[in-house]
Structure 1
Amino acid sequence: MQIKRDDLSGPEIAALLEAHLADFAPHSPPESRHALDLSALRHPDIFFYSVWEAGELLGCGAFKRLDATHAELKSMRTDAQHLRRGVARALLTHLIDEARAAGFERLSLETGSAAHFDPAHRLYAAFGFETCGPFGDYVEDPYSVFMTRRL
């Protein structure tokens, strides 16, 4: 597996992000969906990475600068054909290392609260993320779970 900083210009990334957004639709109302689309992910405060193997896109993820010491995980996604191969673990390890190297002291995330998101909750907990209250511009929402960890 190769993880690289991505400029979001490839059609594979666009397709994976479309699948990412579509996956949330049945699990929360539009006002409770906080995943970013392709154009929003091109913001200069977002560090976006993709995971590749033999020319095939396996997954993606990013972190967004909230302030000088706090970043937020965004757009963690493993392609459905590559689930349970360690892609998410490798990517999350990489994102934590990159956020730490960029000088951030805390990494937080928002994800869905439905059972559909239980594998993500378990992954984040295994990496030391703990449930917390809303951060940044978020507000309490029954469709959201907020987690954070110190770096």
Structure 2
Amino acid sequence: MFDIIEDDLKNPQSRALIALHLAGMSENVPDDATFLGLSDLERPEVTVWSAWENSRIASIGALKMLPDGTGEIKSMRTHPNFAGRGAGAAILKTIIAAGKARGLRRLSLETGSGSAFAAAVALYQKYGFEKGEAYSTHTQTEFNHFLHLDLPQS
């Protein structure tokens, strides 16, 4: 079982996992791809959560509020020592619950293609995300694709 916290990114373990995420993105995406850096994750419209087990970070992910009443999932990364143990799912479930609680009508994300992204795509699809069109300021390329989850309105 993981302890999920809202993360202010001050903990060195959180910063190290973001650095690992950024390094992985740099290795696995085209040169013209963009992704959020640490300072972007500290903006007021972004909330970051992390999953912990025995004082060790297991996973991290963020929800960026978009002006159109939707949310964007950003910077999902599980530490390699916790791969396949449900840490990423715990963060994703937290983000989905936060989106519902905030009254968002949809969660969206951009991800890459290829083996480096296969586990992430499978996780999103397991929780109901479906492939769809580009959104917000994103543009469709041969490399990326977009996943969306419509949230029930109460």
The match for 1:41 is 41
Q: SS at 1:31's partner residue?
A: coil
How far did 1:24 drift?
1.9
**Alignment match, 2:52:** 52
Distance 1:6 1:147 in 2: 24
Equivalent in the alignment of 2:62: 62
Q: What pairs up with 1:1-150 in 2 under 5 angstroms?
A: 1-32=2-33, 34-150=34-150
Cα distance in 1, alignment partners of residues 130 and 5 from structure 2:
27
Number of residue equivalences: 150
1:68 Cα deviation from its structure 2 partner: 4.8
- Partner letter of residue 93 of structure 1? K
Instruction: Note the residue ranges of structure 1 that are not aligned, 5 or more in a row.
Output: none
The answer to whether the 8 Å contact 1:108/1:146 transfers is yes
C-alpha distance after superposition, 1:97-151 (max 9, x if no partner): 0111011110000011122111111111111101011101001111211010111
Instruction: Provide the C-alpha distance between the structure 2 equivalents of 1:145 and 1:17, rounded to a whole number of angstroms.
Output: 22
Query: What is the alpha-carbon root mean square deviation over aligned residues?
Result: 1.1
4+ residue runs of structure 1 moved beyond 3 angstroms? none
Counterpart CA distance in 2 for 1:71 and 1:26 is 26
Aligned-residue identity in percent: 35
- TM-score, L = length of structure 1: 0.95
Q: SS of 2:63's equivalent?
A: strand
Deviation at 1:25, TM superposition (A): 2.2
Q: Is the 8 A contact 1:68 1:104 kept in 2?
A: no
Structure 2 residues not aligned, in runs of 5+:
none
Please state whether the residue corresponding to 1:25 is helix, strand or coil. helix
Q: Is the 8 A contact 1:129 1:149 kept in 2?
A: yes
- Code of the residue aligned with 1:109 in structure 2: it is L
TM-score calculated relative to the size of structure 2: 0.93
- AA at the equivalent of 1:60: I
AA matched with 1:42? E
Alpha-carbon offset, residue 56 of structure 1 = 0.7
For 1:26 and 1:61, locate their aligned partners in 2 and report how far apart those are by CA, in whole Å: 19
